[in-house]
Chains A and B, each alone.
Chain A
């Protein structure tokens, strides 16, 4: 079995490297999935569905801290990319693991929030707002976990000296995960109209 890939993978008729192009298309498809969820959420909210006032019960502090953590992690993955561009595997490896660490902190705070809400009786079936809260943040958290696993795999790859370009690709993905959170945070935590 050939491990080197076909010649097709190494062509670049559009001028954009194949991996980066595919990452953008992947994110395009993700935008429609999250976009669909957000649109449904907004339709319910603007339609005056009872239960959406529960947005005031979510912890803005926890959400704000998580926003800060996630945005900071985007910086560290950018630094990892900058380091690998210069061929500095060690530094890049470290920055990738900083990013993974930030992801863990994010998930930890998320877990703390979930636990508190569930203990207060705000479960996923309580009303439409909480259904959306758990579905949207849950889907986002799955993306965070997926990103962390892929980052770990990439970090070992680059330490062995191959697939450097993938640091950039996971970086693009990680920014997207960030961006989704930037939409979720105001919708689920702050907006209370």
Chain B
């Protein structure tokens, strides 16, 4: 069969996507929607593991030496393993799969008006590699010596010498899992970019692409450009562990600082890799629920480019006290403070979008607004840490930890809930319960602040990270500090308990919720023009795009929204 014949066959095939057997529909799917849901559900399951780990080590900090209910006794090695894998899981197996791979898969083809990713089988392969990487990580908890405990940054020599880490197999399986995860996201990312570049609906120009899609693609490019050197570093670390090379060991002529550079050359852009998808999702949510055109579409886009570019030259602010030259540190102080300019501009554009809008406080909107508020605190505290003089005092304290969680909790958890509640009607064809959604929102957002605001205070009081029992330090064992720790831990338990409201709401709504119309939020983007949930093949007739994604409350129109695919003569 020649190419032309293949092409004709596929064009007709699309109109009648046949029903597939259960195996090919849900276990080995090629449909981007199912693959997206696979990523999201795997990520949610991993989030439960990560949350459980957080519960266990927070209990140890609040009630040191006591048996943790539903877990057991947390020893020092065990504590390190829990902290390390909590961080690893939440970033690599929750934030990235849910925000980028999961929602990216689900919404990119729908938002740009095509039937699937350009390489469905590559897409499936990416997920399968991702699944294997998750299984390898889980396996690492159960091998001799237990899971890796050298922190998610895995600095050598602790991570590369088994006699130091005491987790001979755990360390190697950990780095193997991370490397596999990188491969999965590189392959997935190529698919995402190519799809957006080539498979857009007729008429959809670059500046008509919704911000959510743009930002996922920019994130993917940042990831691609930053992860390569760390991938090489992961191979080198693995060889240090298993073959006996000394790339990162000073004893054999290697350089442990080199790992730190490779890690943070990836690690800092990684912040923006997970931030941008959430920023994009939030841009879409706030325009829909304030019924206003996005303020400064191009400006927002250019700030994202600027942020992405700058993110490659800030990494050494993680290493101010790692023995780098203070003159080099000065340069990185400047670049670090610079990067807050485009991000602040982006933030102000979002606030300007809200200004004067008819704001509806639906659940997704609450999540989106709380993201902006919480991330603002995360961003502002980051400026303290970017200044090397202050960082010498704050470094490796709970101030850093609180700052970090004020960025990553909004990005990962709040962003995820904003997206899930926003697209739930599209994904499952039913509405979520608003009341339960709001209870869950307040039950998550208030405890979140109760956990992490006090940790800023503990950090200022000099409390170091990665200490499993503060009772051994007279300065830190004081009762008033211990009270704060107990307060944070109790808040965490409250937060975790409120997640059951979400789980209940999620599953009950999925099967018993009110039927969702095609476009429950009166939004403009293409995914709302097809049925809920979209059929295999997404669209009955493929849409043509006539305008940008954010034409809300256009003067002279009866309706306050203007779908991207509505022909101009339909103007009434």
Contact = CB atoms under 8 A, between A and B. Distances in A.
B236 A11 contact: no
Given A13-B198, A13-B204, A29-B190, A2 B252 contact: no
B231 interface: yes
Chain B CB count within 10 A is highest, among A36, A43, A128, A161, for A36
Contacts of A43: 255, 258
Given A18-B118, A18-B194, A11 B199 contact: yes
Interface residues of A, number: 48
B247 interface: yes
Contacts of B358: none
A22 B199 CA distance: 12
A11 B114 CA distance: 9
A21 B198 contact: yes
Contacts of B199: 8-9, 11, 13, 18
* Highest count of chain A CB atoms <10 Å: which of B14, B17, B199: B199
B13 A2 contact: yes
Contacts of A124: 239, 243, 245
A59 interface: no
Given A2-B17, A21-B197, A26-B190, A135 B115 contact: no
Contacts of A125: 243-246, 252
Contact of A5 (B120, B235, B253): B120
A1 B27 CA distance: 13
Interface stretch (A44-52, A75-83, A95-103, A177-185): A44-52
Nearest to B231: A33
Contact of A131 (B20, B239, B537): B239
**Taking chain A's interface residues, is the majority helix, strand, or loop, or is none over half, making it mixed?**
helix
Most chain B beta-carbon neighbours within 10 Å: one of A22, A35, A37, A51: A22
B231 to A, nearest CB: 5
Contacts, number: 161
A1 B24 contact: yes
B245 A131 contact: yes
A29 B254 contact: no
Contact of B198 (A16, A44, A127): A16
Interface in A43-90: 43-44, 47, 49-51
A22 to B, nearest CB: 5
Interface in B241-274: 243-247, 252-255, 258, 262
Interface of A: 1-2, 4-14, 16, 18, 21-22, 25-26, 28-37, 39-40, 43-44, 47, 49-51, 124-125, 127-128, 131, 135, 139, 161-162, 164-165
Interface of B: 1-3, 6-7, 9-11, 13-14, 17-18, 20, 24, 30, 109, 114-120, 186, 189-191, 193-195, 197-200, 204, 224-233, 235-236, 239, 243-247, 252-255, 258, 262, 537, 542
